[in-house]
Structure 1
Amino acid sequence: MEALAVRLSGLDAHVDGALRVIMFYDTLMRRRVDLPALARASAGLAECVAGVRLHGTGRTIRCAPDGAEAAGPPSPASSSAPVTLDEEEIGTVWLERPGPPVPLDEVLLDRLAIAAAAVAERYGPERTTMADPALVELVISPGTDEAARTRALRLLGFAADLPVQVVAVRSRLPLDRVGGLICPARPVKAAPLGDVGVLLATTVDRAAFPAGVHAGIGAAGGPDRSWEQARTALRFTTTRRPVVHHGELGALALLAQVPRDTARTNADVAAVARVAAVPEDLATLEAYCATGSLRRAADLLHLHHSSVARRLDQIARTLGVELTEPHGLLRATLALTTWRLLGD
């Protein structure tokens, strides 16, 4: 690297200095260095901290002039430049110079940005699961044009010919751990979006979701449509059924479109809300609606069937339906499902 050991302080601010900076980065690119090497070389050249960040990975690289990782919190950038690829901004490069920018900083950052884009295109995104939430949101948003969606998917590491499934997740576990479990050998990216986690995956092993995770899975295909389906499916998850695929809902998915005020004032739904005030009664109703059998409900609840029968008699009076009749069981199941969707 001796041939690269130049410093901006030793260059003039005119044509000769700019040409030497350009030659410096041309040499780095010919050597096919990676992003950390780019940041180290740039920090040495600039004699201050240099940083690189690609949106697709969310990783930030900051190097000090001595080549070591920059210590402490980042200082305000004295100057910065966007990293662009195919007219899409995919990252940022910057300098943290203690004083004002020097005349050749603009040239340095311009060449560093070009070199970083070349590295991103050559090597693709790093093998990390967590991704920039803004890039993931661009993929799943219904307002994104297809060209921008395709570019975003490519930056996240998904080939154009691979279908992508979207999973909506509620979990106390780290999203990258969940993503690695459900799609261990193929591309998967994760990001938080509001109070819901988003997973983009080429395959989903629903049996691999860890305990305590609630997940709604959308169909493969358009990520925006898959995201809408995944959010709907997530609303139907329960403790007994923590993972729901939208395709399994069938006509039940229509319940998610019922206005909240309309659902809340329905007599059957209001009756379920009264039942839910007693946790034991709610658990009994859920078990009976899930099994359609008094004895199987008793097995789920680990109770004697006579105890469950007494509870069901009281619940039936509260609901005003005959739970042993198919019509009554259907009404109770629909009302219970609608009450859950309210999330009150």
Structure 2
Amino acid sequence: MEALAVRLSGLNPYVDGALRIVAFYDTLIHRRVNVSALVRASAGLAECVAGIRLHGTGRAIRVAPDGEPAPAASSPASTTTPITLDEEEIGTAWLERPGAPNALDGILLDRLAIAAATAVERYGPARTTMADPALVELVISSDSDEAARARALRLLGFTAHSPVHVVAVHARLPLDRIAALICPARPVKSAPLADVGAVLATTVDRTGFPDGVRAGIGSGGSPDRSWQRARTALRFTTARRPVVHHDDLGALALLAQVSRATTHDNADVAAVARIAGNSEDLETLDAYCATGSLRRAADLLHLHHSSVARRLKQIAKVLDIELTEPRGLMRAALALTAWRLHDG
């Protein structure tokens, strides 16, 4: 191959220059340089300002020939070319050469675009946790084909084989702050969707969620399935249990598939709905179902156990369930959970 290159370079100075450019960018790709380094190297090679803008970030990188950030553009780009990945345009590369373009500028930009697409696929376009909601929706939608989902994941910075957990979040805090706390080791991306925030992360630290956040964590695997499970887990969250992993629900997750009409027709659920009008009774029942113990429920409620016993006796009458029996406790817990899923 080298011998062929030498013979070709001797035919024409243009061919010699083109081959040198190709070899230059092949070396950069082999060294796995990132996008910023590519722009810096290109500006030095072209001896003029070089720039790249990726659609995933919207931020332009412009570098002068000396390797420093270029000042504000005083003239339009002299030559431009799209950056494509898997036949999708993901950005633009350009040169800002004063006067007429160089004969080799087109080749230089073509190779820069190829190297930039390789770097984006390897490292992702940004180091921020916020992402384009359209890309996130493409990843988690059940209607997306696998090729489109894979492209979107690459554009978001996830490698082909990295596990992706999806988290559904209800919070007043900024999503990017939450994402950084639960996955301090990137990559992690987040975006607000119609009614809930979505976070995509390679790992999720359950202890990292700040106070005031409700979150459902989906299992790994297909992102669309993980998103569905994260939304289901979010429905099971409570003030006492603000973060729920779908894997921890087990058979309880089946309750989420029961319709509202079917739930309302159940006598136990209807009885819980009546209790819900009294916040103290509802809190007492919740604490007792969560602990299965009168004394532990009293500790949670910061009450004397005799006070809790009196409340539970009245609640048992409304429910028409013997709460001191294991079967009765199970009925009450299921009814409370079913009521919460639709009305809580």
Cα distance, 1:128 vs structure 2: 1.1
- Evaluate the alpha carbon distance shift between residue 218 and residue 139 of structure 1 in structure 2; reply closer, same or farther with a 3 A threshold: same
Q: Which residue of 2 aligns with 1:141?
A: 141
Cα distance, 1:122 vs structure 2: 2.4
Pairing of 1:1-20 with structure 2 (within 5 A): none
Q: Which residue of 2 aligns with 1:159?
A: 159
- The DSSP-based 3-state class of the residue aligned with 1:128 is coil
Q: Which residue of 1 aligns with 2:214?
A: 214
- 1:121 counterpart = 2:118: yes
- The DSSP-based 3-state class of the residue aligned with 2:190 is strand
- Evaluate the alpha carbon distance shift between residue 34 and residue 166 of structure 1 in structure 2; reply closer, same or farther with a 3 A threshold: same
- The DSSP-based 3-state class of the residue aligned with 1:136 is helix
- 1:130 counterpart = 2:142: no
Cα distance, 1:68 vs structure 2: 5.5
Pairing of 1:292-303 with structure 2 (within 5 A): 292-303=292-303
Q: Which residue of 1 aligns with 2:13?
A: none
Unaligned runs of 5+ in 2: 1-17, 63-69, 74-79, 95-100
For 2:171 and 2:38, the matched residues in 1 are separated by 33
For 2:133 and 2:81, the matched residues in 1 are separated by 21
One-letter amino acid of the structure 2 residue matched with residue 54 of structure 1 = H
For 1:199 and 1:52, the matched residues in 2 are separated by 25
- 1:226 counterpart = 2:226: yes
When the two chains are superposed, the root-mean-square deviation of aligned CA atoms in Å is 3.6
One-letter amino acid of the structure 2 residue matched with residue 163 of structure 1 = P
Q: Which residue of 1 aligns with 2:55?
A: 54
For 2:238 and 2:262, the matched residues in 1 are separated by 22
Pairing of 1:1-344 with structure 2 (within 5 A): 34=36, 52-55=53-56, 58-61=57-60, 84-91=84-91, 118-123=115-120, 124-125=123-124, 126-344=126-344
- Evaluate the alpha carbon distance shift between residue 290 and residue 280 of structure 1 in structure 2; reply closer, same or farther with a 3 A threshold: same
One-letter amino acid of the structure 1 residue matched with residue 118 of structure 2 = E
One-letter amino acid of the structure 1 residue matched with residue 218 of structure 2 = G
CA contact (8 A) 1:183 1:201 kept: yes
Q: Deviations over 1:69-118 (max 9, x none)?
A: 69xxxxxxxxx997532212435799xxxxxxxxx9xxx9xx98996675
For 2:72 and 2:271, the matched residues in 1 are separated by 62
One-letter amino acid of the structure 2 residue matched with residue 327 of structure 1 = R
- Evaluate the alpha carbon distance shift between residue 325 and residue 193 of structure 1 in structure 2; reply closer, same or farther with a 3 A threshold: same
Q: Which 4+ residue blocks in structure 1 deviate beyond 6 angstroms?
A: 29-33, 35-38, 111-114
One-letter amino acid of the structure 2 residue matched with residue 121 of structure 1 = T
For 1:337 and 1:229, the matched residues in 2 are separated by 17
- Evaluate the alpha carbon distance shift between residue 127 and residue 171 of structure 1 in structure 2; reply closer, same or farther with a 3 A threshold: same
For 2:129 and 2:315, the matched residues in 1 are separated by 47
For 1:113 and 1:323, the matched residues in 2 are separated by 74
Cα distance, 1:304 vs structure 2: 0.8
For 1:83 and 1:194, the matched residues in 2 are separated by 31
One-letter amino acid of the structure 1 residue matched with residue 299 of structure 2 = D
One-letter amino acid of the structure 2 residue matched with residue 258 of structure 1 = V
- The DSSP-based 3-state class of the residue aligned with 2:306 is helix
CA contact (8 A) 2:39 2:61 kept: no
- Evaluate the alpha carbon distance shift between residue 259 and residue 297 of structure 1 in structure 2; reply closer, same or farther with a 3 A threshold: same
- The DSSP-based 3-state class of the residue aligned with 2:179 is helix
Q: Deviations over 1:165-220 (max 9, x none)?
A: 11111111111111111111131111111121111111111111111111111111
For 2:316 and 2:111, the matched residues in 1 are separated by 70
One-letter amino acid of the structure 1 residue matched with residue 174 of structure 2 = P
Cα distance, 1:53 vs structure 2: 4.9
For 2:203 and 2:270, the matched residues in 1 are separated by 40
CA contact (8 A) 2:81 2:113 kept: no
One-letter amino acid of the structure 2 residue matched with residue 160 of structure 1 = A
Q: Which residue of 2 aligns with 1:74?
A: none
- The DSSP-based 3-state class of the residue aligned with 2:244 is strand
Q: Deviations over 1:4-34 (max 9, x none)?
A: xxxxxxxxxxxxxxxxxxx9xx9xx979974
- Evaluate the alpha carbon distance shift between residue 159 and residue 320 of structure 1 in structure 2; reply closer, same or farther with a 3 A threshold: same
Q: Name the TM-score, length of structure 1 as normaliser.
A: 0.73
Q: Deviations over 1:278-297 (max 9, x none)?
A: 11111101000001111110
For 1:167 and 1:53, the matched residues in 2 are separated by 26
